[in-house]
A and B are shown apart, each in its own frame.
Chain A
């Protein structure tokens, strides 16, 4: 067993016992990154010097007996989190030289605990994508099969954990961007309830949908990392003042009597047979553990993808207006006046998918179209949320596949954006409903690619999610499988 194979809770115990040091662990991960990242391309920026300094400080804290759960634990961050003094690109050329003067709230919380930040992770540009092929720093490769995508947009966050380049990572999830790559890379990823984790210092894609969450090796780590970043933040008006429970306290309470909803709209034709089999097996396991599967209906599921691509792009078109060449991006100098400067700088700085979504969102908000698109989408969103609230009157958690297929091949869907958008069909409704969902490994495809199981909980019901996930995980050994890298 190597240091890089361990989980947060395992390393925490070793560090506390003085059996290893944060510097030793950090160096092991830095070495692992150096050895493997040319194959994975999970990192946009690695910061060895800063990481080792943080490790040294963590060791001092450990020695002083003042250790928090994450003290000395090497983590990495999706390059969407602004980090003081550390370049933050959002995988876009328009921010390729942006060094933020401040830390966001989630990052500040990790630093307060004394966590070590190894670097910044690759992603789809501005979190727009489902395959991590939309990065201006090149695609990330799936550690299970280098010809396959890791999923997106937090592809770097998931691949990094699967490749054991960091103990755990933070990602963001707007329409499945944590859960879908976690599923494709065989790791655990959780999208908390909207408002559970502060968005302050997270570069906005779609503000009403974006949420920060952990990507980890197992469910216990997931509970620990969520507990570290969750909580009300006065700097984020949309964060909610609900107390953060001790997720570890109820983790092992089991699933006896738990009602698990199976939405009939999610078990449809076109679902990959391996995925279907793995998810059905998961239902059996939970039943054996004492849970009670119940069929439920989420009748507006069909409209979710269309609804999402109007709301998310509308918000994005406005959120990305600040990248205009005045302060960000390479200002094109040969311009003919102000408007042309905007046009050329933005044309040069943004990639094709980002441009596509800005145009779509601009259109949806345009005078004369607003009611038909944006407003209608908001109404549909309300219905989708109601679907979930109704279902949670009958069940405690909802169980679905994360994605219709396991990881697909690099280049397979790039020519057809609509096909690509459908890979988030099971994850998008959760963001629209504003509730929480997680992905955890539940099997392998015949081609040896991981398959994820999605659990969806009530708003602020992360405890139930984690408890269910933990029971399922401990009944098998999917979380112990390692990518052959």
Chain B
């Protein structure tokens, strides 16, 4: 039944910006403090208070616009969106309406049918509202700590045709703005919220179907659920000969269904008009160019560079570039060491394991790229084996000492000297005549057994290559 209809999805993302202070005043934006402790006359909307634009917010929005190939408006306007709600202290939200800061951008996503370009209609800046705390005994209370924190609204074209594409777009956008350092991307705390406009139409029909807007969904999983549910709901209506009505719907994560919040008729008339308290925002060509120069390398470019310059598999590059801090660590490591593949093995392997075990982020990793590169060089010059290296790594993690100190202190230096290994080989051969006979009889798999025994006797320090060579000779009876 679903295959009869084409699905059309457009997304609106509200990203909270990571500026230290609010968009129109100097109050802190820290999350989770005592209610109303981060307020002033401006964000409380006291009579007589006036907004002053935080330049950092503009910088962040422009950065996002450039990263998504938007054109940046040399002149943009702030507008008032008028409506009444107790968490909105001024009775209007300062937002942008006509003339937003960024327009006409795009983002490329991977779909099962290959690359697809999703248009970005606009990006604009606005202030967040406060929060209502409902308490059955004391009634409802208002916390205005969040009021006036900077948001960026990113509106896509209705270019996505499945929940999977919507998720791919959201993940891509999420990755970019976190990369840019403009948003922490925290979905649970509401730093990245999504509204989805969903409609369906019979294949081949030109005009769009009537859309429903799904509000404020705060995880990628729920977004997929909500869209899938909505597509099915609308298809059911059409199949039964009904008509979809334009409305705003609220998704309930517990039941996996949605309910109508308000219909088009009940929609607000926001009476937008340019905010007379703020002058038009002028952004110079030089300033935009400067911002362009300061843009960090984005994931796509990074993956390409890693593959090309460091000669690692595309898969490795993608994993490493998924988060900017990871990529930065890896980048620093390769620059110090040189062997891209060895480095990616270590970052994706031991480093990641230790971080997971300790619940740490890579930015807090006690083994710095310098320390790790130093150790990897000791593998290269045969001072230690790869196996001993893991031991050294754990010791560096715990002590913060460099690898040379640890190798020295713990006597972990690899033994390559034949005269030191030979007695051990002889000893093991002498102690296991049965296995020697079997080996000589053709059971060459036993090689591993002998290596293991000798390694054990050397406390792991025997150089595996030297050992192998010698052992083979001895077993062959040479």
Contact = CB atoms under 8 A, between A and B. Distances in A.
A264 interface: no
A300 to B, nearest CB: 21
Interface stretch (B43-51, B161-169, B405-413): B43-51
A82 B80 contact: no
B91 A318 contact: yes
Contacts of B269: 366-367
Given A90-B47, A237-B52, A322-B45, A365 B142 contact: no
Contacts of A366: 269, 271
Nearest to B270: A367
Given A82-B48, A237-B51, A237-B277, A321 B90 contact: yes
7 contacts: A100-B41, A100-B46, A104-B48, A204-B48, A234-B52, A237-B52, A366-B269
Contacts of A95: 47
Interface stretch (A57-65, A195-203, A422-430, A439-447): A195-203
Interface in A72-119: 81-82, 88, 90, 95, 98, 100-102, 104
A442 B89 CA distance: 46
Given A201-B48, A203-B48, A237-B278, A102 B41 contact: yes
Contacts of A234: 52
Interface string B275-287: 0111100000000
Interface residues of B, number: 27
B46 A207 contact: no
Contacts of A104: 48
B86 interface: yes
Dominant secondary structure of chain B at its interface with chain A: loop
Interface of A: 81-82, 88, 90, 95, 98, 100-102, 104, 199-204, 206-208, 234-238, 314-315, 317-318, 320-322, 324, 326-328, 338-339, 342, 362, 365-367, 370, 374
B50 A321 contact: no
B92 interface: yes
Interface in B258-280: 269, 271-273, 276-279
Interface in B87-121: 89-92
B52 A100 contact: no
B46 A237 contact: no
A315 B86 contact: no
Contacts of A327: 89
B82 A321 contact: yes
A276 B190 CA distance: 66
A82 B47 contact: yes
Interface of B: 41, 45-53, 80, 82, 84, 86, 89-92, 142, 269, 271-273, 276-279
A202 B273 CA distance: 21
Nearest to A83: B48
B50 A235 contact: yes
B49 A314 contact: no
A88 B91 contact: no
Contacts of A365: 82, 271-273
Nearest to B51: A237
A370 B272 CA distance: 9
Given A100-B47, A238-B278, 15 more contacts: A82-B47, A88-B47, A199-B50, A207-B277, A236-B52, A237-B52, A237-B278, A314-B273, A315-B276, A318-B80, A321-B90, A324-B84, A367-B269, A370-B273, A374-B273
A326 B140 CA distance: 11
A322 B271 contact: no
Contact of B91 (A90, A102, A324): A324
Contact of B46 (A82, A236, A314, A318): A82
A244 B276 CA distance: 24
Contacts of A235: 50, 52
